[in-house]
Every structure is written in C-alpha cells, then in structure tokens.
Structure 1
Amino acid sequence: MKKIGKILGQYIIYIFIICVAFILNSVNGLLGWDPLLLKIFHKSNIYGNQLGLILIIVSIILMLLYWLAYHLELKHKNNWDFKQEIEFNWRSIIIAIGGFAIIAISQFIIMHLLNKPSPNQSEIGNIVNNAGQIFELNLIIIAPIAEELIFRGMFFNTFFTRPTTFNLWVGSVVNGFLFGYIHAGLSIQIISYWIMGIIFSFVYLYTKDIKYSMLTHIFNNALAAILMIV
C-alpha cells in the first residue's frame, strides 16, 4: 500500500509539473515560448530589454528547478541507468546528430505533404524576425533544455520506468503524442511534433543521457530559427 502511494505521488507530481508547463506555455509572457503574448507585447511596445531580462531570469530559475526535480527522481529510481555525471562520448554525439538529421528530413517531408508550416511555427517566425536575441535565446537554448527535462527526463522517471523493449517503443510513442499535443493540440500539425517527440525519446533512451536529447532539440530549434530568419 505504501509503495502504491509513492507511485501515485510521483504521477501526481509529474502531472502537476506538466500542467504548470502547459499553462506557462499558453500564457507565454513568462517564458517567451509561445508567440501569442509576445505578439501583443510587440504591438504594445512593452517588450523591451527589461521584460526580456525578466523572461530570461524566470526561465533560468524554472529550468534549474526542473533540473533539480529530475536529479532527485534519478536518485529515487533509475532502472534505465540514466547518467547523472557530465560525460561525453562519440557514440552518443553521433546518435544525437543522427536524431537531428532524421527530424530535419521528416519535417521537410511533412511540410511538403501538408504544403504549409504549422500555425505555431508561422507565428514564431514572425516573432523571431522582430523579437531579437531574447526570444532566440529562449527558443534555441532555454526551451529545449526545460522541455527535455520535463518531457523526456521526468516522463521516463515516472512512467515506463523499466528498461524493456515494450517500454522503449510504447513509451516513446506515448511521449511523442504528449509532446505533440502540448505544442499543436489535435490539429494535423501534431504529426510533426509527435515524430519529434519520438526521436527525442529514442536519443535519450539509447544514450541514457538527457544532455544528448537536449543537444538534438537545440540543433532542431536552431535550424528552425535560421530557416525562419532567411
């Protein structure tokens, strides 16, 4: 009974964190991840250096809290043997870059099949062209790190915790859907983010190191930002 209570407690904590992240993502102004309020800020001329600095500080504080929660979970349960120390190796780097290449190719194919970018990406493109370095820092660095801690790190520490083939594949598909739903809802564009989430999960589970899924995510967002600017 005590064990069941601990498991339920983990689920509740993770769901709470996801809900908070979803609210922050939707409300936007706090983190600068979603373009809606940033667009209002620009129209109202209130997105200046001071607000940008506040966004960065809040984002970094939340990112550190996510990192702390992630490592506390690893100390409590780590059946996958995820690495906690700073460690770099060529195999993991190749997996991270390979994951990025697969995502880039899949996004290119999906964009041509849909014949249009997602509304989310279109809005972000408009903001990137006007917001400058503050939004780009959030998009390319802070958001990928925070999202990997939440959607990959905490997810697999809470659900699909045993290193089985079933958990690897089903967990990655479920994780991808959750990631897609948070970014695109139930629109057709969820397919794009769903694939991203699955690949990020594979990179994390095969390298057993959250830093490499972060690296893949950073590469992906950096490429998206570059394509939006040019």
Structure 2
Amino acid sequence: MKKILKTLGQYILFIFIICLAFILDNVNGLLGWDPLFLKMFHKNNIYGNQLGLILILVSIILVLVYWLAYHLELKYKNNWEFKQRIKLNWRSLAIAIGGFVIIAISQFIIMHLLSKPSANQTGIANIIKNTGQIFDINLIIIAPIAEELIFRGMFFNTFFTKPTTFNFWTGSIINGFLFGYIHAGLSVQISSYWIMGIIFSMVYLYTKDIRYSMLTHILNNALAVILMVI
C-alpha cells in the first residue's frame, strides 16, 4: 500500500509539474508578445531588457523547483542508474554533440518540407523582438535546463522506469510525442518537436546523465536563436 501511494504521488507530481510548465509557458508568451501586456509594461516604463530580466528570474525559480523535484525522485527510484554527480565523459560528450547534429539535419529537412514556422517559433521570435537580447539567455540556457528536467528527468523517473529495450524505444517515442504536443499541439509542425524529443530522450538514456541531454538541447536552441536574429 505504501509503495502504491508513493507511485501515485509521483504521477500526481509529474502531472502537476507539466501543467505548471504549460501554464507558465503561456504566461511567458503573453508577457512577451501580447499587445495588452506590452502596453501595460510600457506604461510603467518596463521595456526590453527589463521585461526579459523579469522572465528570466521567474524561469530560474522554476528551474530550482524542477531540479529539487528531479533529485527527490532519483532518491526514491533510480533503476536506470542515472548519474547525479558531475563527471566529464568523452563518450557521453560525443553522444550529446552527435544528437545535436542529427537534430540540426532533421530540422533542416523538415523546415524545407513544411516551409512554414510553427506558432511556437513565431511566438519566440516575437518575444525576442519585444524583450531585448537578455531574453536570449532564457531561450538558450534556462529553458533547455527546465525542459530536460521535466520531459526527460521526471518523465523517466515516473514512467518506463525499468531499463529494458522496450522501455527505451517506447518511452523515447512517447516522450517525443508529449514534447511535440506541448510545443506545437496536433499541428503538422509536431513532427519537428517529436523528433527533437526522441533524440533528447535517447541522449539522456544512453549517457544516463541529464546534463548531456541539456547540452544537446542548449546547442539546438542556440542555433535556433542565431538563425532567428540573422
């Protein structure tokens, strides 16, 4: 009974974190590009970098909450033997960079096939325009850390917890779909984020260290921001 309650608690915690992330992602979007919110901030002399700084501070607080939840879950169950201590591993680094290269190639192909940016990409471009360059820090570093803690870290601590081949592939595919749905809904652009989510999951499960999937995610977002501003 005690084990069932702990497992149920994990499910509830994950669902709560996902809902919180979804709500705050939409709030960040409103703060960054909604005309009414921008008018309110401008009326109070809050512009560009100041608005970006506010969003970054909120994001940092959330990352700390996610990090704590992730490590508490690892203490309860860690069948995959995910690492918690920082240790440089050249093989893992190569996997992380290789994952980034695969994502970059796949995104290049999908971008040319669809020839239309997703609503998420359009929203991000508007946020960059209205919040100044300081918000790039959020997009490149803070957002990837937060998303990896939720979508890879907490996801595989809650679901597909046993290290089997079935769980590796099925978990990665379902994780990719969840990641894609949160970012693009059921639009045709979900394929782009779905592939990203699968690769991020594979990097995490192969290296057994969330810092390497964070690195892959950071490199991907950095490239995306560079392409948006040039």
2: CA distance between counterparts of 1:60 and 1:124?
A: 18
Partner amino acid for 2:161? T
**2:115 alignment partner in structure 1:** 115
- 1:181 is matched with 181
Give distance in 1, aligned partners of 2:56 and 2:129: 19
> How far apart are residue 130 of structure 1 and its match?
4.5
Q: 1:37 aligns with which of 31, 42, 62?
A: 31
Mapped to 2, the partners of 1:216 and 1:144 lie a distance apart of: 9
Distance 1:227 1:4 in 2: 48
Q: Which residue of 1 aligns with 2:155?
A: 155
Contact 1:148/1:214 (8 A) holds in 2: yes
The one-letter code matched in structure 2 to 1:39 is W
Instruction: Select between 161-170 and 112-121 the one with higher mean Cα deviation.
Output: 112-121
CA contact (8 A) 2:51 2:131 kept: no
Whether the 8 Å contact between 2:183 and 2:190 is mirrored in structure 1 is yes
Taking the aligned partners of 1:201 and 1:185, their CA distance within structure 2 comes to 19
2:15 — aligned with what? 15
The RMSD of aligned alpha carbons is 1.5
Displacement after TM superposition at 1:190 (Å): 0.7
Q: TM-score, normalised by structure 2?
A: 0.92
Q: Deviations over 1:54-91 (max 9, x none)?
A: 32222111111111111111111100000000111110
Unaligned runs of 5+ in 2: none
Distance 1:53 1:37, change over 3 A: closer
**How far apart in 2 are the matches of 1:129 and 1:23?**
22
Q: Mind listing any 5+ residue stretches in structure 1 that lack a counterpart?
A: 29-33
Change in Cα spacing, 1:95 to 1:83, as seen in structure 2 (3 Å) is same
Identity %: 79
1:204-219 correspondence runs (5 A): 204-219=204-219
Q: Is 1-10 or 44-53 further displaced after alignment? A: 44-53
The answer (yes or no) to whether the contact 2:73–2:154 under 8 Å persists in 1 is yes
Q: How many residues align?
A: 224
How much does 1:52 deviate? 3.1
1:104 paired residue number: 104
For residues 52 and 126 of structure 2, the distance between their equivalents in structure 1, rounded to whole angstroms, comes to 17
TM-score (norm 1): 0.92
Give the drift of 1:51.
Answer: 3.5
1:31 match? none
What is the rounded CA distance, in whole Å, between the counterparts of 1:117 and 1:193 in structure 2? Answer: 12
Whole-angstrom CA distance in 2 between matches of 1:207 and 1:10: 23
Give the match for residue 77 of structure 2: 77
Confirm or deny: 8 A CA contact 1:129 1:228 kept in the other structure: no
